[in-house]
């Protein structure tokens, strides 16, 4: 994953005018996800907060998709490199675990780009932990509902190739933790599905 290369003239001009948070968000929207390069880390919902401190430093808060996501270090480095290239001298990264990342944070634009790339975007929430997250008011039954083997509502996953919803799951797990393997029963194309999480 290549960070935006440093461009001295551009960096110089950025330095002259202090950027605002919206500008930093726009720069971060150009940083690609290392595993799915068509979408940015902003599309994916990994960037949670951007703040410009009084001392001129930039604080960026990010959250991992999965606990074991091997791309997090690469993403952190890419953010730092991109902001340095835009003239921000001091970039401080913060890792936030709670609230836990969910595919609900993926932008509509990001979902469209995923589809164009041949990966079916997340359809609907399948692991509902809302009842468990409620802390002291947690519903005791929620813990059991989440692991029930009773039939779950059937997912409608459209083939990114032909658009047919006549598709079938091949494997719950795919090439990365965030994807499952599907196949289209109409155009016969196998494809990745970005799982709800």
Residue ranges in contact with another protein by CB under 8 A: 64, 66-70, 97-100, 127, 129, 132-133, 135-136, 138, 143-144, 146-147, 149, 170-175, 177, 181, 197
* Closest separation in Å from C-beta 186 to another protein: 22
- The minimum distance between CB 125 and another protein, in angstroms, equals 10
Nearer to another protein, 90 or 172 (CB): 172
CA distances (Å), origin 81, targets 23, 28, 87, 189: 16, 11, 10, 38
Cα–Cα separations (whole angstroms), residue 95 to 47, 60, 92, 131, 161: 10, 9, 10, 25, 36
Q: Which is nearer to another protein, 9 or 149 (CB)?
A: 149
- Quote the Cα angle for 89-26-70, to 5°: 75
Which is closer to another protein, CB of 43 or CB of 192?
A: 192
Please state the φ and ψ torsions of residue 119, each to the nearest 5 degrees. Answer: -115, 125
Select 136 or 154, whichever has its Cβ closest to another protein.
136
For residue 94, list its beta bridge partners: 61
- Do 86 and 14 touch, CB atoms closer than 8 A? yes
Minimum CB separation from another protein for residue 1, in Å? 16
Residue 29 to residue 33: CA distance in whole angstroms: 10
Nearest approach in angstroms of CB 100 to another protein is 5
Q: Which is nearer to another protein, 18 or 171 (CB)?
A: 171
Tokens of 169: 């799951």
Could you tell me the smallest distance in angstroms from the CB atom of residue 147 to another protein?
A: 5
């Amino acid at each position: 994953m290549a960070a935006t290369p440093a461009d001295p003239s551009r960096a110089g001009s950025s330095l002259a005018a202090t950027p605002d948070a919206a500008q930093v968000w726009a720069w971060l929207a150009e940083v690609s996800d290392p595993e799915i390069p068509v979408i940015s880390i902003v599309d994916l919902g990994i960037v949670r907060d951007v703040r410009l401190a009084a001392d001129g430093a930039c604080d960026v808060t990010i959250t991992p998709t999965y606990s074991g996501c091997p791309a997090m270090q690469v993403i952190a480095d890419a953010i730092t490199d991109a902001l340095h290239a835009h003239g921000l001298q001091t970039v401080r990264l913060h890792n936030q675990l709670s609230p836990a990342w969910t595919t609900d944070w993926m932008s509509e634009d990001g979902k469209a780009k995923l589809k164009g790339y041949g990966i079916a975007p997340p359809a609907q929430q399948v692991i509902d932990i809302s009842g468990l997250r409620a802390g002291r008011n947690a519903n005791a039954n929620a813990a059991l509902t989440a692991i029930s083997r009773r039939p779950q509502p059937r997912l409608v996953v459209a083939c990114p190739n032909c658009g047919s919803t006549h598709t079938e799951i091949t494997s719950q797990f795919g090439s990365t933790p965030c994807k499952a393997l599907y196949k289209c029963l109409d155009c016969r194309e196998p494809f990745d599905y970005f799982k709800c999480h």
